[in-house]
Structure 1
C-alpha cells in the first residue's frame, strides 16, 4: 500500500527550486514541447451545464466540455490552482494534452525526447527515467504535450492562478470524478483532501495514466528548456479543429 505524508508526497513543494539546483545536465533540443505566448485561446462553445470538481490538492475544475457533448473527441476544463499545487511526473498512454496559462505563473516540466508506449513502461523501473526540461510559463502561453511523454506542473506563484486544459481524445473525466469531489458550487477558499491522494496514484492506470507518487520517482535528470524547444509547433490548428466540434 502506498504511504503518504500529506500533500508533500504528491505535489511539488515550495523548496523545489532548491532541489533543482543539485542537477547539472545537458539540455535537449527536441521540438516536441511547444509554446505560443500572448495569444487568445481558440473559440469554443461551452456546455450550459458544466461539471464542477475539486481535485485532491484543492484545484477547482470547471469541465465545460466532456465526452458526452464532444462525441468523445476531447475534454476541456478550466481550473483555479492554489499556490504550490499541481501533479508530479506522469504520462498518458493514448491521449494528448494542451495547457493554456492566461496569467503565466506556473512551472511546467516534461521529457520531450522519450516516448513511453504503454503503461507497462514505468520510468526508472521497467523503462529509463525521464530527462525533464523546465519552463517558466508566460502570460497567455499555450503548450502541447503529446501522449507518452512524462510531464507535470505546479503553481510557482503566491496566489491562485487560472489554467485551461484540453485532453484529446476523451478518457480522463471519470478519473477526476472518481478521485476528486463533485460539487454544485466551489467554496470561497481552497480545500485539500489528502485521503484521496492514494487513489489519485493507484487508480491512475485505470484511466490510461502512470502517475508518480513523489517528484523524483520517474525522473533521471532535470534541465531548463531551450528556445528551439519552445518555438516548435503547439498544434494550435489541431486544437482549433477540436474546439469547433458542436455540442452534441
Structure 2
C-alpha cells in the first residue's frame, strides 16, 4: 500500500514539474492577445469578521472572506496569494460559476469559451470532445467570468507571488479546500507545498462538483491565444455586484 502511494505521489510530482515546463514554453508565445478591459475596481463588499485561512495543496494562501456560512450558500469568496509556478490544471465545475479578479495582473488565465460539459459524467477527450482553451495574459484590475461546465484554470509564470480574488456561486467549493488543504490561524512567511495532499486534490474533486485533470493536456484538444470575442465577453459584473451587496447572514 505504501509503495503504491509513493508511486502515485511521484507521478503527481512529475506531472506538476512537466506542467511547469510546458506552461513556461507556452508563455513564450509572442502573439498573445493584449486587448482587454482593465482598470475595474473590485466591487465593495462587507468581509466576514472571522475569515478562514487555508493553504491549498500547491501552496496558495487563501483568505476566505465570505463563505456559505454567512451568505446563505449563495456564494463564497477568497482573496489569495498564488506562489510562483502554481495554479490548477484544466478542470470544470458542474453546477457553479466562477469570477476571477486580478488586482495587479500577472497570471495567465486559460479557458474554453465554446464547449460546455453538462455534468461530471462528461470527460473531455474521454466520452466528450476535448477542450479548446484560449490563453489570456491578465492585466491589472481585470475581471473574468467562467460559467459552469467550461474548462478553465490559471498559472503564475512569474517569479513572485501574485494576488487574486475568487468568487464562486453558488457555494459548494469551500469544503473542497478545507478537506484537501490546511486550515491555519496565520500564514507562514514562505509558501509550502504539501505533497501528500496533491493526490486527494485531484482524485476527490468530483465529490465537490469538479472534474480535475491529472496532467495538463488530458482534457485539451487545442491551445490558442484569446480571441477578441473571448476578451470582450460579458464579465457578469452586475450579477457579481448583486451577490456582494447582500448583507452578512
TM over 0.5, shorter chain? yes
TM-score under structure 2 length normalisation: 0.91
Counterpart secondary structure, 1:233: coil
Distance apart, 1:17 and its partner CA: 3.7
Q: Say which structure, 1 or 2, has more relative contact order (CA 8 Å, 6+ apart).
A: 1
Matching of residues 75-224 of structure 1 within 5 Å? 75-224=76-225
Counterpart secondary structure, 1:52: strand
Give the Cα separation in 2 of the matches to 1:94 and 1:213.
Answer: 21
* Cα pair distance change 1:59/1:7, threshold 3 Å: farther
Indicate conservation of the 8 Å contact 2:133/2:223, yes or no. Answer: yes
* Cα pair distance change 1:61/1:145, threshold 3 Å: same
Matched, 1:18 2:19: no
Give the Cα separation in 2 of the matches to 1:188 and 1:80.
Answer: 12
Supply the RMSD in Å over aligned alpha carbons: 2.1
Distance apart, 1:232 and its partner CA: 1.9
Matching of residues 12-51 of structure 1 within 5 Å? 12-18=19-25, 36-51=37-52
Which residue pairs with 2:15 in the alignment?
9
Give the Cα separation in 2 of the matches to 1:18 and 1:40.
Answer: 32
Counterpart secondary structure, 1:68: coil
Distance apart, 1:245 and its partner CA: 1.0
Once the two structures are superposed, what CA deviation does each residue of 1:178-230 show, in whole Å capped at 9, x if it has no partner? 00000000000001011101100111000000001110111111000112211
Higher helix share: 2
Distance apart, 1:109 and its partner CA: 0.4
Counterpart secondary structure, 2:92: strand
Indicate conservation of the 8 Å contact 2:99/2:166, yes or no. Answer: yes
Distance apart, 1:14 and its partner CA: 4.2
Distance apart, 1:20 and its partner CA: 7.3
Indicate conservation of the 8 Å contact 1:10/1:197, yes or no. Answer: no
Indicate conservation of the 8 Å contact 1:72/1:169, yes or no. Answer: yes
Give the Cα separation in 1 of the matches to 2:99 and 2:133.
Answer: 17
Give the Cα separation in 1 of the matches to 2:16 and 2:43.
Answer: 32
TM-score under structure 1 length normalisation: 0.91
Q: Show structure 2 runs of 5+ residues with no match.
A: none
Which residue pairs with 2:75 in the alignment?
74
* Cα pair distance change 1:14/1:102, threshold 3 Å: farther
Once the two structures are superposed, what CA deviation does each residue of 1:20-72 show, in whole Å capped at 9, x if it has no partner? 789xxxx9xxxxxxx63111000000000000000001100000000010000
Counterpart secondary structure, 2:15: coil
Which residue pairs with 2:239 in the alignment?
238
Q: Show structure 1 runs of 5+ residues with no match.
A: 28-34
Give the Cα separation in 2 of the matches to 1:129 and 1:233.
Answer: 24
Give the Cα separation in 2 of the matches to 1:213 and 1:86.
Answer: 13
